[in-house]
Amino acid sequence: MNIQFKKGVLEICVLSVLAYKECYGYELVYEISKQIDISEGTIYPLLRRLKDEGFVTTYLQESVEGPPRKYYRLTESGRKEEHELKEEWMRFTAAVNSLLVGKNHAAE
C-alpha cells in the first residue's frame, strides 16, 4: 500500500471512527486495519496531536485483559473538524478523479 496516500487521511479515519464510538488506541488500530494498513507507531503520535489540538479528550479505564486502556472521545471542535475534513476529502478526490479520467480535455 502506498504510504504517501495515507498522509493526512488517517487523521480523518480516526476522527470518523471516533465519531461513531469512543475507542482506545489499540482498538483504533484494529478498526482501521480492516480497511487500511496502519501501525501503532502511527496512531499514538497522531492521537497525541489530536489531543493537543483539542479535538479529543481522554480518560483511562481498567481492563481485565491487560494494562489500562486510554479512551478517546471527540470534543465539539473535534466533530466540527471531522465534518470539515471529510468535506475537504470529498472535494479533493473529486478533483483528482476528474483529472484521472481526462474530463478537463476538450476532445475526450
Partner DNA sequence: GTATGTACCTTGTTATGCAAGATACTGTGT
Partner DNA sequence: ACACAGTATCTTGCATAACAAGGTACATAC
Q: Give residues in contact with DNA (CB under 7 A).
A: 1, 3-4, 6-11, 24-27, 37-42, 44-49, 63-70
Look at residue 25 and give the partner it binds from DNA, its own copies, none, a contact being a CB closer than 5 to 8 Å depending on partner kind. DNA
The closest of 89, 95, 106, 100 to 9, measured between CA atoms, is 89
Residues 38, 87: Cα–Cα separation, whole Å = 23
The 11-50 site mask, x for binding its own copies (CB under 8 A), equals: -xx--xx--xx---------xx-xxx--------------
Report the residue number, 10 or 19, with the smaller CB distance to DNA: 10
Cell for 78?
473535534
CA gap 29, 72 in Å, rounded: 13
